[in-house]
Amino acid sequence: MSKETKIRIPLWIYPSTEEKINQNFRADNCKSPSEFIENAIKFYLGYLSEEENINYISPMITETVKAQIKGTEQRLARLLFKIAVELGKLSHMTAAMNDVDEETLKSLHAMCVTEVRKINGIIDYEDAVEYQRE
């Protein structure tokens, strides 16, 4: 803090406010009610400054978050596209190599839906191979 000289100002407060100051200034590690009031004024001035900064910072944070979400969305879309292409290749290869009837296809679909729900979408090729060997 700079070497400022304190000044005396008139202060009009309600008796109930003065009573609260006298009850709490020591709990705030202040040496006097005057120091407590000065700290309270500084705190309130900081609060007012923060209100002004929020109006400036809030839109910046919002735009940054939106940009991050959009980038993540684009990366996920590209990955899902690549996965869909690979799945399409596998499906066509499997269909070309196997003659599967309609009933087997329906039961396979039901089994896969149940399995994916159970494993929460985490498919392990080794587990599928083990299942098919059983």
Supply the pLDDT for residue 33: 94
Strand, coil or helix: what is 11? coil
pTM check: above 0.85: no
Dihedral angle at the C-alpha atoms of 4, 51, 29, 31, nearest 10 degrees? 40
**Single-letter residue type at 88:** G
Question: Residue 17 CA to chain centroid, in angstroms?
Answer: 41
Q: What is the pLDDT of residues 62-112, one digit of tens each?
A: 888 998 999 999 999 999 999 999 988 888 888 888 888 888 888 888 888
Q: pLDDT band at residue 55, thresholds of 50, 70 and 90?
A: low
- Structure token digits, residue 102: 């309609």
